[in-house]
Amino acid sequence: MPKISEKGHKMPSSPIRKLVPYAEQATKDGKTVYYLNIGQPDIKTPQVALDAIKKTTLNILAYSRSEGSENYRKKIAEYYSKNHIYVKHDDIIVTTGGSEALLFAFGSIMDKDDEIIIPEPFYANYNGFSTASGVNVVPVISKIEDNFALPPIEDFEKLITPKTKAILICNPGNPTGYLYSKEEIKKLAALVKKHDLFLLADEVYREFVYDGINHYSILQEPGLEEHAIVIDSVSKRYSMCGARIGYLVSKNKEFIQTALKYAQARLSPPTLAQIASEAALDTPNSYFTEVINDYVGRRDTLISELEKIDGVKVAKPNGAFYCIAELPIKNSDNFAQWLLEHFSFENETVMVAPAAGFYSSPNVGLNQIRIAYVLNKSSLKKAVKIIAEALKVYKD
């Protein structure tokens, strides 16, 4: 019998999606399931993007340029300039979602067995992308007690070896919602320049920052032009997860030319989705004002309700729409499955994401869950009530 690759065996399952069969069965059994496990916003996609698809007069849905259409990339550059990030359209490669942008970046800057340092907990698919690329994640642990702030820079430096090629951050963070400060970015910038490393920043949640705090991009940091690579996406910004449009942004010309070869190998990003994404750039600022106000209300509701539960510890996010909660249990994988298979409160239950899958260090985060506050406030209150009732009867 032919054998599956070692790399294939090592590919991790998604901690976000692996419980889907249990949720589907719970629904078939007549239970209402509140989905707190996945960052699929319930915010309406901007009408201007939907209208662009409806009004297209294309007769042939042809390939676009491998790096994305020139008009679209010029409009992306204009969008960045409005955010005080100054790049040219030639510094941008449009990709099939932020996921492909990460894969292109990994392939362009690292060889087999090279290392990338990532503060954990981190977006679970970073583990998958590193496995697919044959590189090794070297984690540096951030702590819930510190609200998942950047670990001491000394913790990063002691992990650097001749195999280290980059540091990767998500800002604001998935799964923590932590927003790195300008001072923290400057510390990382000094470190990567000292050791001649790349600094990758996944900035797909840039718009979603709260409490009057400003987002500071690595592309705004002077002297980082040859080191900085930004991963971006329309998925969360415009509630367009299904469009599968993202982009790589860097002023490092050699990196962009290398990534372009990967883009050429997969031919082109989706043409119709680029039309919608280009139109989405005309979304009025009022859209984001409403969305941010909505998320702040949801966040405050979620945190307030979670803090009422004995034994629960929660970090308050300043961005994105996720938080990590620590529960008075031993294993959140078992708890999450039990919620779907064996528990309901008033014939309702909850789907959460066990947080251990957001770490690469073994046996860390076992009693934590990630919650995506992508439901309305009433549903969030009900969902937290279900968790509270479940914890009263759950036995590890």
83 in the same domain as 18:
no
Helix axes 332-342, 377-393, angle to 10 degrees: 100
- For the segment 33-75, what is each residue's pLDDT rounded down to a tens digit? 999 998 888 889 999 999 999 999 999 999 999 999 999 999 9
The answer on pLDDT for 14 being more than 80 is no
Same domain, 18 and 100: no
Domain span including residue 18: 6-44+286-393
| pLDDT at position 306 | 97
79 burial level (CB within 10 Å; 0-12, 13-18, 19+): middle
Query: Which of the listed residues 280, 308, 325 is the one where a domain comes to its end?
Result: 280
Nearest to 169 by CA among 132, 144, 199: 199
Whether 229 contacts 202, CB under 8 Å? no
379-395 residue pLDDT tens = 999 999 999 999 999 99
Mark which of 255, 280, 305 sits at the end of a domain. 280
- What pLDDT does 47 receive? 95
Residue 1 lies in a domain: no
Query: Cα separation of 341 and 380, whole Å?
Result: 20
319 forms bridges with which residues in the sheet? 209
Q: Are 115 and 161 in contact (CB under 8 A)?
A: yes
Tell me the C-alpha distance between 188 and 220, whole Å: 13
Q: What is the mean pLDDT of the chain?
A: 95
Cα separation, 200 vs 170, in Å, equals: 8
Confidence of residue 377 (pLDDT cuts 50, 70, 90): very high
Quote the CA–CA distance of 266 and 99 in Å, as a whole number: 14
> Nearest Cα to 243, choosing from 252, 234, 256, 251?
234
DSSP state of 190: H
Which residues, in sequence order, are bridge partners of residue 209?
319
Same domain, 339 and 378: yes
Specify the pLDDT at position 104: 98
Counting residues of the chain whose pLDDT is more than 70, the rounded percentage is: 99
Q: Quick one: CA dihedral 61, 64, 66, 68, positive or negative? A: negative
Same-domain check for residues 88 and 193: yes
**One domain, residues 220 and 347:** no
Q: How confident is the model over 333-351, as a mean pLDDT?
A: 96
Q: What is the CATH number of the domain that holds 98?
A: 3.40.640.10
Residue 386 host element (H or E): helix 377-393
Show the DSSP H helices in 266-284 as ranges. Answer: 271-280
pLDDT band at 13 (very low <50, low <70, confident <90, very high): confident
For 165, the 3-state DSSP assignment is: strand
What is the CATH classification number for the domain harbouring 33? 3.90.1150.10
Torsion, Cα of 96, 98, 100, 104 (10° steps): 130
Strand partners, 322: 372
Judge whether 325 and 314 are in contact, CB under 8 Å: yes
Is residue 257 located within the same domain as residue 323? no
Q: Are residues 219 and 272 in the same domain?
A: yes
Confidence of residue 17 (pLDDT cuts 50, 70, 90): confident
Residue type, 21: P
- DSSP code, position 51: H
Please check whether residue 123 lies inside any domain of the structure: yes
Judge whether 330 and 365 are in contact, CB under 8 Å.
no
Q: What confidence tens digit (pLDDT) does each residue in 172-204 have?
A: 999 999 999 999 999 999 999 999 999 999 999
Q: Are residues 169 and 293 in the same domain?
A: no
Question: Domain end: 261, 280, 299, which one?
Answer: 280
